[in-house]
Structure 1
Amino acid sequence: MDDEIEEGMVVDEDPQSLPGHRQADRRASGKSPYELLRESKSSVEDVVAKILAIKRQGHPKSQLRELVTQTFLHFVTLRQVNRTILLEEDRVKAETERAKAPVDFTTLQLHNLMYEKSHYIKAIKACKDFKSKYPDIELVPEEEFFRDAPEDIKGSVESNDAHSLMLKRLNFELFQRKELRKLHEQLEERKRSLLQTIANRKKFLSSLPSHLKSLKKASLPVQNQLGVLHSKKLKQHHSAELLPPPLYVVFSQLMAQKEAFEEKIDLEIIGSMKDAQTFVRQQANKDSGISSNQESSRLEDDVPDEEDDGQRRRKRPKKVPSKENLEHAGYYQVHPLKVILHIYDDETSDPKPVKLVTLKFEYMLKLNVVCVGIEAANEGPQDNILCNLFPDDTGLELPHQSAKLAGGDNLKFDVKRSSRPFKWAQHLAGIDFLPEVSPLLKAQENTSDEMSKSDVFASGLSLYRQQNRVETILQRIRSRKKAQLALV
């Protein structure tokens, strides 16, 4: 084709289109390489479009040479711009590397600091989680530490140095514990010596009763000679502790009367001490409920059978125990200990007065009454001086309602028994009870009776109503015994 550009064709170049002029024009224009690249690209596209248009229209080749020259110039410009862009890229990379170096160094420092921070956090957590012994130690307060701690331990402690203060407080605690350890050893040594002393004294005290007993036996003749019966009195007091409450009241009242008014009476307690101690233990076990098993077994034995259930539901009249069955039923069961009262004549001035009568007080357990009788009496029941010592008090009837309910309303004491439950004996023992009939009814009956009968009772009732019961009873017994002796 004629219109095509032959290879190796020399094209005349315009001096203005040289690269130096292009670069000078680019620098003069102040455009960036990227803008020149876009302009060169668009110029090449325009030149190529013109060449194609000339070839289509069939214009002469002289027009193509100028366009080809412009195209080559644009290619040269593209290469120069490309080289400039590459150089600029290298320069930017170098500047970027130079700017990146301090950033990398700072990042490395940041990573080092973060690692160091995590290490410190782990160390702090390990320190906080460390289970030491000192939190469980009760240290003295800081005020007491600064007040009592020695100077070599306290030293100079700054107020803001908590760690140093804690160490010094721990040292002071160790110092105190060492001192307490020394004191503990001293006290242990003293304790051992005191235990040895106590053991020696216990050994001496254990052997002391035998010595006191022998000394007491040796002093009995001296006591009898001087009339100071200390051993006998002490023995009576020990025996009185085992008496039932009513007999204890009788003994204490009579003993107080003797000591306060120098009454010429003597008291003694007779009976089995071993049986009395057994009775006291049985009462204590019954009160504490130890005998509940025996009672439950007794209740199981008393459960009625089904066959006899209908018969047991019938009401049966209560049987009154006869005199023969009273002994078997245990109504006359008495306490093992008894109180003996010796009454002497109070009108004589002899050092050894005449004994008038000896009374024996005993306590019936089931009937809860105190019985009194004359010891070794030879006269019959009809000559008993205690009968009717006070008006209407023969001693043949039970004095209070509870005893009558326990033994039966028609229960009469055996006349042959020397001891009887006189009413004055119950009052002397502290067993007071209500009368069976209201005093108002008795007052109405007394108004309808003869005046002579009331005169007979007046003297006895006036003495009985007084509070000096012991003195009144002793006077009555003495006067009754003297009257009996005068009749002989």
Structure 2
Amino acid sequence: MTSVSSSSGAAAKDGKHLLPHIQAVDPACDALRQEIHRVKRQHSGKEAAPTPAAKRLKLSKKASLQFLELQQLQRACCAHSLARKQTTQEAKISMDRACLDLQNVLYEVRHFEKQIADCEALETKYQKVSVIPESELKAPSEDAVHVMDPHLIMLRRLNFELVERKRLVDEEKALDKELEEAEVEHAKELAELDLLNKELATALKVTIPLQTRLGITNASAREQNEKASLLPEPLFVLYKHAVGFARTYEKEIEIDIVGDFQLAATTKSSAATALPAEQSISDDVAASLDRENSVDDMDVDVGQDSTKAHADRSATYYSRHSLDVVLTILAPGGNGHLAKLVFSYLTNLQIVVVAAKMLTPVAHIPAKLFSAGLFPGDVGHDSPNPANAFLGSESDPFRFDEVKAGGNPFAWAQALCGMEYPSRLGDGRYYLQKLPTLLRARIEVLKDLGAKLVAAVPTFAKLKDVDWKLSEENDPASLKYEISARQAEEETQIAVVVLPPPPATTATLVLRQNANDDPTPPTS
């Protein structure tokens, strides 16, 4: 009874009124609980004076009556719930009907407002004619009655507009004639300039030996600029950036352009020439467009045909431009070449990939370690262009393939090429000022790592099928690689290498005999 009174008091305090059959549940449960305890004690024989069997039967009947009372209260609760649900459903139907009526009224209001706006915005050809204002029109010689007539005033304004337009048409014809004469003169001057350019080119070819002897690089710089004009826009930005940086700050890098220049010139000229409006596209292009539209259509059934079309398009994902920009890192003082970075542009994915190569490689250390992780978290495994995620399908999502791409799409490479894609590196700007220093520091780390591996594992240089796997438990601030080798058809884990981002000069090496052994202390 105490729990019932406290719950009733709490309900009254909160402003809620419990229903009678809800309030009767707690007393009935308490009485039933007491009766059950009493019967249990009698059956267990713990009481001092055991009651007769008839009294026990009476107590059991009393407990059964309490159960019947609880069932009656449950039926009352169910009946009340059904009644409240029915009332709620009727109120909901009434509210839905009122909302529908409101939407109909709002629709009619919007319709009337649109009709009013269309009537107010109705224009005729007469209203579109721009005529001279009345204040600028000279007063006529007629009497004051004609001056005040709006019709006559409008006629005079229209006549004045007609005379002015005829005069402007005559001036336009005269200017067109002058333009034709200027174009003829311009064509003559262009012909003379072309002839002069040929003469200058011939003169420059004659002076090339003299330029070589005097150390003048104007001819080679002009030739290199002509090659750079064939680059795609991202690589052109990178080339100009690198050339300006090399001339101003860094003398120990070399920039070059490699590839098929004839194909690049043909591609550029064909892209610059637009198709005439009356010219139809080729059958192959039309078929490819129809295939893409059929795949991208929302009403198409996703099945084997869609998967096949996606596979056909995925074959062109990694199409590359015919020209690449090569950045060669020299040793301090210009004594020898250390490494080479090849920047390529994927025309369909619209990203730049970097293929790194150490000119003095270290045994069994892959070239990908040279350029990966120069900045924390920038491993170069995923495409930085967010639009590439929509190339795949639900059954076959797009995943960037480093082997097919021929390089890694590092975030810093996109920034150097002027492409601003969102990345984990933040919104900072990246320049070439730090890149040579970071690459030289990474080369020293890899050489030191190779020496440590040979010293720790004497047979490391002679091992075959050495695999460097990027650990899944990778720290964004460093790169953790698991080194394993296959010997006698059994894969043995050799060591774990933690490669910090430059300009750190030491990598952490943890030796392992197999995957189950505890690691030895790290080698600094």
Structure label with greater radius of gyration: 1
Q: Say which structure is richer in helix.
A: 1
Which range, TM-score by smaller chain? 0.3 to 0.5
